[in-house]
Amino acid sequence: MMKQILAIGGLAFAALGASASTYNWGALNAQTDAQTAYVPAGSFSDVYLFSVAGNNNGVSSVVSLDLSSIFDITNGTYSIWLDNGAAGPNPISDDTQLASWTFNGTTGSASHTISLGAGNYYYMVSGTADGTGGGTGYAGLYTIAAAVMPVPEPASVALLLAGLAAIGVRGALRRPR
């Protein structure tokens, strides 16, 4: 009995240092969705749910605000997952990780692009917030931004190439000899 009480107490104590939030962005489109998150001290793992209609290129970036020692995030990573639908976002059991990147206070200009088909996805942002918080109650701060851009259909590309060829032919015929 004592072992069970100690085990439960240990799990409760470990959970005190961890933070997790879930945000639902709905259908992601060409307009950028962005979220700034303030995280308490300790490890965190936040999830951003979204869906995509049709074939698109997903573009995203995450950056933390490393403001001296007030807000600081170490070991920052974010990944994109295909939600296979069995139990919502659950990367341990049934979902498929498509890509993973690191972030820190200097990665804001680095964006990442990945091809996405129609379906449900999520970004998972995790790390350790170890700043002092400056009396705010938060030890870390990061911003995630994402959008999708449609992939051109083959017919659209063919039409573009045909138009360029027509312009080239017309220019060649108008040239004085």
Contact between 88 and 22 under an 8 Å Cβ cutoff? The reply is no
Choices 3.40.50.1100, 2.60.120.10, 2.60.120.1050, 3.30.1330.50: CATH for 18-167: 2.60.120.1050
Query: Model confidence at 107, in pLDDT bands (50, 70, 90)?
Result: low
- Who has greater pLDDT, 127 or 15? 127
| Token pair for 17 | 């240092």
Domain ranges of the chain: 18-167
Vertex 39 angle, CA 60 and 33, to 5°? 30
106's CB contacts (< 8 A; 6+ apart) are 63
Helix or strand (DSSP H, E) at 42 = strand 42-52
Residue bearing tokens 């039409």: 159
Q: Above 50 in pLDDT, residue 109?
A: yes
